[in-house]
Structure 1
Amino acid sequence: MLLAINGTGIAIAASGGSKLWLLALLLLAIATSFAAERILPYREDWNTPHDDDRRDAAHAAVNESLTLINLAIVPALTALIPFDGVWPTAWPFVLQVLLAVLVADLGLTLMHLASHKIPTLWRLHAVHHSAKRAYGFNGLMKHPLHQLLETAAGFAPLILLGLPTTVAYAVALCAAVQLLLQHSNADYRVGPLRAVLALNQAHRFHHLKWAGIGDVNFGLFTLIWDHLLGTYSYDPERRFSSDDLGMAAKPHYPNSYLAQLAEPFRPSGACVAEEPRPGTTAERTLDSPPR
C-alpha cells in the first residue's frame, strides 16, 4: 500500500498519465484493504457490519467526491495567488510529493488538534469518533463540512507555496491510502516505525472513548508533529475492543448517514455524567470536546 500503490500513483502523476489510473489505484487500494482485513484481522467481529456498512459507503462516496472537486479547482486557486510560488519544481518529483506530505501533515494535525479543543469543530468531528469498530472505511467517516475544513488546512499552505497540480493529485491518492491504512482492521505491524508513521497501531489510541484519553496521535501521515506537540502516546500491551471505541458521553450517537449530518446542528445537550474509564470519574457536556 505505502510503496507499491503510492509509488505507482506517484509515477503516473509524474508522467502526466490519465487521472483515471489514479482512480483505478484507489479502487485497488480499497480492495486490498478489505482483503487484508479478512485474511489477517485484528478483531474478527470488526469485519462484521455494525449496521454501518451502507452509512460508511455513503460517507466515503460523498467525501471522496469532495476531494475530487477540490483537486479540480487547485489550478484556479494557484492562479489567484498574487505572487510567484516558491515551490521547488526543480526537485525530483518523489521528493516534491514527500515535502507536500510533510507540509500537509502539519496543517492536518493542527486542524485535528483544534477539532478536539474547540466545541464548534468538535461537534463536526464527533461524527468520526462515533465509530464502534475500526476498519478501512472509518477514515472517510466524516461530516462533509469537517472534511472541507481538513482539506483546506492541509492544502491551503501548499497552494500558497505554488504546489503543482500533478503533485496535488499524487498527495490526494497518498491521503486516501493512508486513511485506509490508519483505520484498518488488518493486524499488520511496522516495528519501530510505529512511532513515526501514523498507522493503525498508534491511531487506535486516538479513538479511545474516555475524556482526554483520545487526545493523542493526531497526525494523518506521520507522528512527527505529535512528538513535537507532546501528543504522542503508545502502549504495546494495549488491546482494543468495541467497548473501548466511540464517545462515552454520547453512547447513542445517531447511526444513520442523514442523522449524522444533522447531529452537529442540534441544540447542545445538558451536562451529564460521562461513563468513567476504569479507576476514574469524569463529567463534561455532551457536546464539549474531550479534555
Structure 2
Amino acid sequence: MSTFFAPLVRYGYAPFMLLGVNGTGIVLAAAGAPKFWLLALLILAIAVSFVVERVLPYQDSWNTSQGDLGRDTAHTFVNETLILVSVGVIPLLAAVIPGDGIWPGDWPFVVQVLIAILFADFGITLTHYASHKIGVLWRFHAVHHSVTRFYGLNGLMKHPVHQTVEMAVGVTPLLLLGIPVPVAAAMSLAVAVQLLLQHSNADYHVGPFKYVLALNEGHRFHHLKWAGIGDVNFGLFTLIWDHLLRTYSYDPGRRFTTADLGMAAKPDYPVTYLAQLAEPFKPVAPQSARGTRPSTSVKP
C-alpha cells in the first residue's frame, strides 16, 4: 500500500467509525429518521471494516475464512436482530414500568447518547466479567471465546442467550430512567460499531487512547486461550472499569497469531452455528473450559 494510504487508514479508521459513523447515526436518530437508515449505516460500517481489514491487516491469515464466515454471519444476523428488537420493544416496556423516569430529555441529544453508552458500558462490562467467573454464564459465553481468528464479525459471535443477558443488564437501568427510543437506537448503532472495532483485524492505532478505549489492541489480550491470561480487558466501550477492577493488561511488544486464540482445553469446540447453540446445554465436563496456563505472561 502506498505511503499515503497507510497512515490514512492506520490513524483515520477509528475516528471515521467512532466519530463519523456514530456521529451520523446520532444526527439521523435526533432528526427522527426512519430506523432503516441506521441499519443502512451499520451495513456501510461492516463493509468499510472488511475493506480496511484487507487494506491494512494485522494478520493476513485472519482475512481468510476458516470455514467460519457463514457461521459468524448467522451469529451476527441473529444477535443484531435481537438488539434491534430490544430497541423496538422499549415503548412497550416503558408502558408497564411505573413512573415517568428521570431521563434528562431536555439535554443535548449527543449528551443523552453518551450517558446511555456509559450506563450500557458499566452493565455489559460487569456481566462480561461475571461470565468468566460464574460457571453457567461461562458456558454460554464460551461460544465467543472459541474464535481462532480475530476480525470484525467476531464481535457479534455470541450465543443468543448470553447476548440477551448482556443486553438486559445493560438496558434495564436505562429503561428505568426512561430512555427515549431515538437515544436507544443511536446507542445500539454505537454498540455494533464498537464490536466491529474491538475485534477488527485492521492494524489501526489510536495512540494513548488505547489505555482508555476498549479497542482491538487491548481486546486481543482478552482472547488469549490460556486460563487466567484471558481474564483481562472486559470493557465494551471503555477500559475504565478494568482499571478499577484491576483487570487491565497490555503488553506493547506482544504479537498475536491464531495459535494464541481459542480455548486450550477445548480445541474440539463445535464450529458450526447450530452445534454452538446446543453446546452450553450439554453435561458439564470436569475440566475447565478455558484450559491451563502455559509458561508465558502478560504485563500489567
Which TM-score band (shorter chain)?
over 0.9
Match of 1:75 among 91, 105, 109: 91
Q: Decide whether the 8 Å contact of 2:143 with 2:276 is kept in 1.
A: yes
SS at 2:142's partner residue? Answer: helix
Report the CA distance between 1:230 and its aligned residue: 1.1
Query: Which residue does 2:177 correspond to in 1?
Result: 161
Q: Which whole-Å CA distance do the structure 2 matches of 1:163 and 1:141 have between them? A: 27
1:202-221 deviation digits (Å, cap 9, x = unpaired): 00000001101111111111
1:71-124 deviation digits (Å, cap 9, x = unpaired): 110111112221121111111000000111001100001100010000000000
1:52-85 deviation digits (Å, cap 9, x = unpaired): 0100011011111111111110111112221121
Name the TM-score, length of structure 2 as normaliser: 0.91
Query: Which residue does 1:247 correspond to in 2?
Result: 263
Where do 1:1-291 residues align within 5 Å?
1-271=17-287, 274-278=291-295
Report the CA distance between 1:276 and its aligned residue: 4.1
Report the CA distance between 1:275 and its aligned residue: 4.9
Q: Which amino acid aligns with 1:67?
A: I
Report the CA distance between 1:278 and its aligned residue: 2.2
User: Aligned-residue CA RMSD in angstroms?
Assistant: 1.3
Q: Which whole-Å CA distance do the structure 1 matches of 2:272 and 2:220 have between them? A: 23
Report the CA distance between 1:173 and its aligned residue: 0.2
Q: Which whole-Å CA distance do the structure 1 matches of 2:19 and 2:95 have between them? A: 32
Q: How many residues align?
A: 280
Name the TM-score, length of structure 1 as normaliser: 0.94
1:143-182 deviation digits (Å, cap 9, x = unpaired): 0000100110110110011101110000000000000000
Query: Which residue does 2:6 correspond to in 1?
Result: none
SS at 2:132's partner residue? Answer: helix
Q: Which amino acid aligns with 2:295?
A: P
Q: Which whole-Å CA distance do the structure 2 matches of 1:239 and 1:57 have between them? A: 27
Query: Which residue does 1:285 correspond to in 2?
Result: none
Q: Any stretches of 5+ residues in structure 2 without a counterpart?
A: 1-16
Q: Cα–Cα, structure 1 residues 133 and 106, in superposed 2: closer, same or farther, change >3 Å?
A: same
Q: Which whole-Å CA distance do the structure 1 matches of 2:169 and 2:81 have between them? A: 18
Query: Which residue does 1:288 correspond to in 2?
Result: none
Q: Which whole-Å CA distance do the structure 2 matches of 1:237 and 1:35 have between them? A: 26
Q: Which amino acid aligns with 1:92?
A: P
Q: Which whole-Å CA distance do the structure 2 matches of 1:96 and 1:272 have between them? A: 42
Q: Which whole-Å CA distance do the structure 1 matches of 2:288 and 2:119 have between them? A: 39
Q: Decide whether the 8 Å contact of 2:229 with 2:293 is kept in 1.
A: no
Q: Cα–Cα, structure 1 residues 33 and 279, in superposed 2: closer, same or farther, change >3 Å?
A: closer
Q: Cα–Cα, structure 1 residues 177 and 279, in superposed 2: closer, same or farther, change >3 Å?
A: closer
Report the CA distance between 1:271 and its aligned residue: 3.1
1:220-278 deviation digits (Å, cap 9, x = unpaired): 11111111111111111111001101011111100000000000011111337945412
Report the CA distance between 1:139 and its aligned residue: 0.3
Q: Any stretches of 5+ residues in structure 1 without a counterpart?
A: 281-291
